[in-house]
Structures are given as C-alpha cells and as structure tokens.
C-alpha cells in the first residue's frame, strides 16, 4: 500500500475563516511533508515533520500552522488566509534517513481563498 | 535562483520513439535525484530515482542517467506510449536530509 490520502479534495474559504487540511498514510513512514503548488509551477516545500517533530519550516507565514498528532496523521491549520494562498496543497511521506528515500504524494487539496 | 532546472517546458514525441527529458542542477550538495510524473488534478507519482554514487538506473521502459561532473541528469522513456503524456518533474534531495527541491517540470505529449 503506497497510498497517501488527503481530505478534503477541494476547499473554498473566506479570508476570515479557519479550516484544516488533513493527510493520512499507513506505510509506516516517519517523515511527512506539506508542499504548496501554484499553477504551472513546481511543488514548493512548506514543512517537514520527522518522527512527529517539526524539522523544516521554509519560512512559511504563521497563518499556516502544521500539526502532526501521530506518525500517520498530518494536519495543516489555516487561518486568515489571503487570495494569493490559493493553490494545490500536497502532502507526502517517506522513510527518513534512507539512502534512497522516496516521497509518496497524496492527490492534494485544491484551495481557493476568496 | 532555481537550483533545479528543466529548460524544456514541453516536448512532443511520436508513439514508439524515445522521449528524453533533461534536468540540470547547480548545487553539488544534492545527493539523490528523483523523477515524478504528474497528471492534472493528481499528486506527483514517483517514477525512478538515482543516487549520486551511480550514473545509471533502469526500470523497465525508464532509464535515468546522471552526469555528476556536468550536474546533469536525463530520463529516457523507450518506447514512448500515449499514456506517458503528463508533466514530468525532476527533484533533488539536499545533503541526505529531507529538503527536496523540484524543477519546474516538462510537459510531455506522446502523439499516437
């Protein structure tokens, strides 16, 4: 099973809303990632959790708040977003520390901020 | 400043012929390279990878070549099939860590 699931698939929110994106994997991976992808651009790394601890924060604004409740789950809490935050948000997971570490991606959540 | 470059935004190839997708990188601290394929409205799907200690890795129709001195890698698909039509991303891992940098992608169209 190499599946990473993400919910919801689509999300529309206003600038004053609070919402959360969810990601789940059952591959026993201990590293989980959030990426942001704008149209016709590559995925850009936002956060990395390794063994449930935040290991990388790529200077992401505080209106994005990640959370890793356990080794299988990753959340991204959204608050007071801006229209320019509209994008595809991708979750990925991997076995950290492997010489040939491969990331497996979920299908993404397409977010529209009005 | 892009550290991983894919200078061809698009490529068209006839079915049955070879597709060659190129990727260049600037940072010698990248130690592991991956190719992903992405269909619209889906997440990237892992295709094939290569460690910096190797110069070639093959998996079925897909072969990746790495030229460390030139900081260049390429993905060969042979024979190309219409189902290979997608956007292909090259990605590089920085210094054995968890920081993966993606190139801008190349859109491959395989014509029947």
Q: Nearest Cα to B51, choosing from A98, A104, A97, A100? A: A100
Q: Tell me which of A43-47, A106-110, B35-39, B94-98 is least confident.
A: B94-98
Tell me if A94 sits within 8 A of A31, measured CB to CB.
yes
Asked if B32 and A90 come within 8 Å (Cβ–Cβ), the reply is: no
What per-residue confidence (pLDDT) applies to A99?
Answer: 72
Q: Is residue B2 scored above 80 in pLDDT?
A: no
Asked if B98 and A96 come within 8 Å (Cβ–Cβ), the reply is: yes
Helices (H), A49-111: none
SS (H, E, C) B33-99: EEEEEECCCCCCEEEEEEECCCCEEEECCEEEEEECCCCEEEEEECCCCHHHCEEEEEEEEECCCCC
3-state SS class at B2: coil
What per-residue confidence (pLDDT) applies to B45?
Answer: 93
pLDDT tens for chain A, 114 residues: list them.
568 999 999 999 998 889 999 999 999 999 999 999 998 888 999 999 999 999 999 989 999 999 999 999 999 999 999 999 999 999 999 988 777 778 899 999 999 999
Q: What is the mean pLDDT of residues B12-29?
A: 96
Q: Which two tokens stand for residue A21?
A: 């994106």
Is the CB of B32 inside 8 Å of chain A's CB atoms? yes
What per-residue confidence (pLDDT) applies to A93?
Answer: 95
Q: Which residues, other chains included, contact A112 with Cβ-Cβ below 8 Å and sequence gap of 6+?
A: A10, A11, A12, A13, A86
The minimum CA-CA distance between A5 and chain B, rounded to whole Å, is 10
Q: Tell me which of A36-40, B21-25, B33-37, B58-62 is least confident.
A: A36-40
Buried (b) or exposed (e) across A46-69, using 16+ Cβ within 10 A? bbbbbeeeeebeeebeeebebebe
3-state SS class at A107: coil
Residues 76-105 of B with CB under 8 A from A: 89, 91, 93, 96, 98-105
State the average pLDDT for chain B.
94
CA triple A72-A62-A84, angle to 5 deg: 100
The minimum CA-CA distance between A44 and chain B, rounded to whole Å, is 7
Pairing of strands A109-113, A10-13: parallel
What per-residue confidence (pLDDT) applies to B73?
Answer: 97
Tell me if B6 sits within 8 A of B91, measured CB to CB.
no
Burial of B60 per CB tally in 10 Å (0-12, 13-18, 19+): exposed
In the block, residue with structure tokens 């295709």? B47
Distance CA A25, CA A4 (A): 5
Residues 47-76 of B with CB under 8 A from A: 49, 51
Q: Nearest Cα to A74, choosing from A91, A51, A96, A97? A: A91
Is the CB of A80 inside 8 Å of chain B's CB atoms? no
């Amino acid at each position: 099973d190499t599946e990473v699931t993400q919910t919801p698939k689509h999300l529309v929110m206003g600038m004053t809303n609070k919402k959360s994106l969810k990601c789940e994997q059952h591959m026993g991976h201990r590293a989980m990632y959030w990426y942001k992808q704008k149209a016709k651009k590559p995925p850009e790394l936002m956060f990395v959790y390794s063994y449930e601890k935040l290991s990388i924060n790529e200077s992401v604004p505080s209106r994005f708040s990640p959370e890793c409740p356990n080794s299988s789950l990753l959340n991204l809490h959204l608050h007071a977003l801006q229209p320019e935050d509209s994008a595809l948000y991708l979750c990925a997971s991997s076995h950290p520390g492997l010489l040939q570490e491969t990331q497996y991606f979920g299908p993404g959540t397409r977010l529209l901020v009005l | 400043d892009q550290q991983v470059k894919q200078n061809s935004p698009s490529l068209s190839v006839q079915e049955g012929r070879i597709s060659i997708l190129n990727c260049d990188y600037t940072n010698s601290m990248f130690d592991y390279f991956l190719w992903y394929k992405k269909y619209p409205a889906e997440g990237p799907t892992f295709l094939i990878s290569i460690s910096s200690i190797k110069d070639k890795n093959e998996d079925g129709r897909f072969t990746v070549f790495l030229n460390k001195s030139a900081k260049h890698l390429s993905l060969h698909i042979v024979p190309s099939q219409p189902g290979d039509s997608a956007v292909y991303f090259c990605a590089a891992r920085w210094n054995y860590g968890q920081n993966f940098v993606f190139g801008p992608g190349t859109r491959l169209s395989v014509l029947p």
